[in-house]
C-alpha cells in the first residue's frame, strides 16, 4: 500500500537537509534556518501550553526511526546540481527557494516527484496511446498525434505542487519525503483541455469522478499493482485549466516529468497530475485506486493531537485546493552583506491553490512589523504571483526575513504548521530566510 511505502521511505530519507556552505553558518541546517520552531528563537507563541511533540508510541518506549541521514548529492541528466535529493526509491528531489527565482521555472530547476519506478522511454512519442473509458458514451483510444490534431492546443503557466510540500515543518514529522518549500514549480504547460477530450467521449449523467493511470511500474515490480492511481470530482476535471500536456516550457515533455503525456491539474495536489498517462477511467463513484482513502492525500476535518495514530476512516477529507504559500527567492538563505548595507531588495513568489494571492508581507523583526510587497500580475489563473519590495534594516547584524501571503478569502499563512496529520499534508508556515549584515 502507498502508506507502507511512505512509512518505509520516511525512515530512509533525510528529515532535514543543509544549505550550501555560507559565511553565516557553514553546512548549517536548512530546517533550522528556514523552518525551525519559533521556540528555537526564544519566541513565545500566544502563551499557550505546548502538547508534547513525542508520539504516543515513542512515549511508550516503542522503537523509533533511525537517525536521519545528512544531505545527499544530486546528479541527474538535465537537472541543476543544486536540487536536494530527498529519496532515491522512488526518486524525489526538491528545489531550494533561491533556485525558484525565475518567472517561469526552467526544466533544469523543476522538482522531481515519483511514486514508483521510472518507466522505459518510448521511441516514438506520437504513437503513445491514451484510453478514455468508463461512464462515457463513446470510449476513446487516442494517440498523442490524434490528440494534437483533434483538439485545440492550450498553453498556460501554472504552479504544480506536491501535496506534501512543507512536510518537514510539522512536529512530529509526518510520514514521507521531508519537503521544505521546494516541492513546487511554475512551468508553461502545453496540451489540450481534459474537458474537451472527456466531452468528445460523451459523458453519461452518471459521470461524477475520474480515476487516472500511468505507465510507471510499482516499486515492487509487481505488474498487477499501480505505483499510484488517483482521481478527482468531475467538476475539477472539467475546469478549463486542467490539461493533458505534451510540452513543458515549449519543449517536448521530458521523460522524468511524465513524457510523453501527463495530466496537469493545477491548484490541487500534484499527485492528481498523473505522469506517463495512458488511461482515464470515468466513474460514478469516487476512485479507489492506489493513493486514495485512509490518510493518503487526506487531511483532518477536526484537528487531532500531533503524533496521533489516526487511520483516516473518520473526520478526514480528500485534500483539494493547496494552501496559500509564499517564498523568498532573493536574497538566498545564508547571504552575507557588507556592514554598510541597510536597504535590502527582495524578490519572491506566492500562490494559493484554487484561490488568488491578495497580498504578500515581509517582516525583519519576527513579526512585530509587516511591510507590504508589490505584486506583479499573473499571466493566467494558477500562475504564481511574483513579488518584489525593499526593507530597511535598523543596523548591521543577523536578521531573519519572514514572508507571509494572504489569499483572496483573507486566509494567511500561519506562524507554524497547523492541522497536523499522519502524512504531513498542507503545511504552509511563513518562509524564513537568514541574512547577516557585516
**DSSP code per residue over 194-221:** HHHHHHHH-B-TT--EEEEEESPBPTT-
Least confident of 51-65, 190-204, 267-281: 51-65
Q: What is the rounded distance in angstroms from the CA atom of residue 232 to the CA atom of residue 272? A: 8
In this structure, are residues 413 and 189 in contact, taking their beta carbons and an 8 Å threshold? no
Chain mean position to CA 59: 31
Across the range 352-375, mean pLDDT stands at 98
In this structure, are residues 416 and 39 in contact, taking their beta carbons and an 8 Å threshold? no
Strands 209-214 and 184-193: unpaired
What phi and psi, each to the nearest 5 degrees, are found at residue 287? -65, 145
In this structure, are residues 399 and 41 in contact, taking their beta carbons and an 8 Å threshold? no
- Cis amide bond preceding 331, omega within 30: yes
pLDDT at 13: 37
Q: What is the rounded distance in angstroms from the CA atom of residue 129 to the CA atom of residue 341? A: 58
pLDDT at 72: 73
In this structure, are residues 30 and 102 in contact, taking their beta carbons and an 8 Å threshold? no
Our CA dihedral for 15, 20, 22, 26, rounded to 10 degrees, sits at: 50
The model's confidence at residue 219, banded by pLDDT at 50, 70 and 90, is very high
pLDDT at 73: 75
The model's confidence at residue 82, banded by pLDDT at 50, 70 and 90, is very high
H helices within 245-384, ranges in order?
none
In this structure, are residues 278 and 215 in contact, taking their beta carbons and an 8 Å threshold? yes
Name the residue with cell 504548521.
417
Across the range 294-320, mean pLDDT stands at 96
Number of CB atoms found within 10 A of residue 206's CB: 12
H helices within 340-425, ranges in order?
none
Residue 88: partners with Cβ closer than 8 Å, 6 or more residues away: 72
Question: What domains are defined for the chain?
Answer: 1-321 (3.90.420.10), 325-437 (2.60.40.650)
In this structure, are residues 183 and 165 in contact, taking their beta carbons and an 8 Å threshold? yes
pLDDT at 54: 32
Q: What is the rounded distance in angstroms from the CA atom of residue 411 to the CA atom of residue 390? A: 24
Burial pattern 113-128, b for ≥16 Cβ within 10 A else e, equals: bbbbbbbeebeebeeb
Across the range 94-108, mean pLDDT stands at 98
The model's confidence at residue 103, banded by pLDDT at 50, 70 and 90, is very high
Q: What is the rounded distance in angstroms from the CA atom of residue 312 to the CA atom of residue 154? A: 38
Nearest to 129 by CA among 185, 197, 183, 207: 197
pLDDT at 70: 56
Radius of gyration (Cα) for the chain, nearest Å?
A: 22
111-144: per-residue pLDDT in tens?
999 999 999 999 999 999 999 999 999 999 999 9
In this structure, are residues 406 and 359 in contact, taking their beta carbons and an 8 Å threshold? yes
Q: In percent, how much of the chain has pLDDT > 90?
A: 83
pLDDT at 68: 45
Across the range 371-375, mean pLDDT stands at 98
Across the range 193-221, mean pLDDT stands at 98
C-alpha cell at position 369: 512589523
Q: What is the rounded distance in angstroms from the CA atom of residue 33 to the CA atom of residue 164? A: 20
> What 8-state DSSP symbol labels residue 371?
E
Amino acid at each position: 500500500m502507498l502508506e507502507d511505502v511512505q512509512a518505509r521511505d520516511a525512515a530512509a530519507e533525510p528529515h532535514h537537509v543543509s544549505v550550501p556552505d555560507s559565511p553565516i553558518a557553514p553546512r548549517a541546517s536548512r530546517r533550522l534556518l528556514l523552518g525551525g520552531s519559533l521556540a528555537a528563537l526564544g519566541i513565545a507563541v500566544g502563551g499557550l501550553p505546548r502538547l508534547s511533540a513525542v508520539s504516543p508510541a515513542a512515549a511508550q518506549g516503542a522503537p523509533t526511526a533511525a537517525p536521519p541521514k545528512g544531505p545527499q548529492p544530486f546528479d541527474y541528466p538535465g537537472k541543476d546540481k543544486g536540487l536536494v535529493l530527498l529519496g532515491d526509491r522512488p526518486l524525489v528531489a526538491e528545489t531550494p527557494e533561491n533556485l525558484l527565482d525565475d518567472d517561469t521555472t526552467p526544466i533544469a530547476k523543476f522538482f522531481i516527484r515519483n511514486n514508483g519506478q521510472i518507466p522505459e522511454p518510448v521511441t516514438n512519442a506520437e504513437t503513445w496511446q491514451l484510453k478514455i473509458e468508463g461512464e462515457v458514451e463513446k470510449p476513446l483510444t487516442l494517440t498523442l498525434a490524434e490528440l494534437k490534431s483533434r483538439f485545440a492546443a492550450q498553453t498556460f503557466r501554472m504552479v504544480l505542487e506536491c501535496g506534501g510540500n512543507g512536510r518537514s515543518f510539522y512536529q512530529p514529522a509526518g510520514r514521507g519525503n521531508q519537503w521544505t518549500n521546494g516541492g513546487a514549480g511554475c512551468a508553461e504547460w502545453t496540451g489540450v483541455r481534459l474537458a474537451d477530450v472527456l466531452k468528445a467521449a460523451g459523458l453519461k449523467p452518471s459521470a461524477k469522478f475520474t480515476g487516472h493511470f500511468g505507465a510507471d511500474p510499482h516499486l515492487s515490480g509487481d505488474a498487477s499493482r499501480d505505483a499510484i492511481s488517483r482521481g478527482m470530482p468531475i467538476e475539477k476535471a472539467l475546469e478549463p485549466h486542467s490539461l493533458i500536456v505534451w510540452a513543458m516550457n515549449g519543449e517536448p515533455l521530458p521523460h522524468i516529468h511524465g513524457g510523453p503525456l501527463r495530466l496537469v491539474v493545477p491548484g490541487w495536489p500534484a499527485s492528481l497530475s498523473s505522469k506517463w498517462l495512458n488511461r482515464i477511467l470515468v466513474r460514478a463513484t469516487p476512485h479507489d485506486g492506489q493513493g486514495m482513502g485512509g490518510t493518503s492525500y487526506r487531511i483532518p476535518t477536526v484537528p487531532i493531537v500531533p503524533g496521533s495514530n489516526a487511520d483516516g476512516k473518520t473526520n478526514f477529507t480528500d485534500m483539494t485546493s493547496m494552501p496559500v504559500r509564499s517564498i523568498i527567492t532573493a536574497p538566498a538563505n545564508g547571504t552575507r552583506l557588507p556592514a554598510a548595507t541597510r536597504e535590502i531588495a527582495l524578490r519572491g513568489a506566492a500562490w494559493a491553490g484554487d484561490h488568488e494571492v491578495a497580498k504578500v508581507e515581509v517582516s525583519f523583526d519576527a513579526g512585530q512589523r509587516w511591510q507590504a510587497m508589490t505584486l506583479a500580475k499573473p499571466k493566467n489563473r494558477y500562475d504564481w504571483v511574483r513579488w518584489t519590495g525593499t526593507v530597511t534594516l535598523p543596523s548591521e547584524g543577523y536578521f531573519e526575513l519572514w514572508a507571509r501571503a494572504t489569499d483572496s478569502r483573507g486566509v494567511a499563512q500561519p506562524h507554524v504548521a497547523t492541522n497536523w496529520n499522519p502524512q504531513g499534508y498542507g503545511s504552509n508556515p511563513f518562509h524564513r530566510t537568514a541574512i547577516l549584515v557585516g
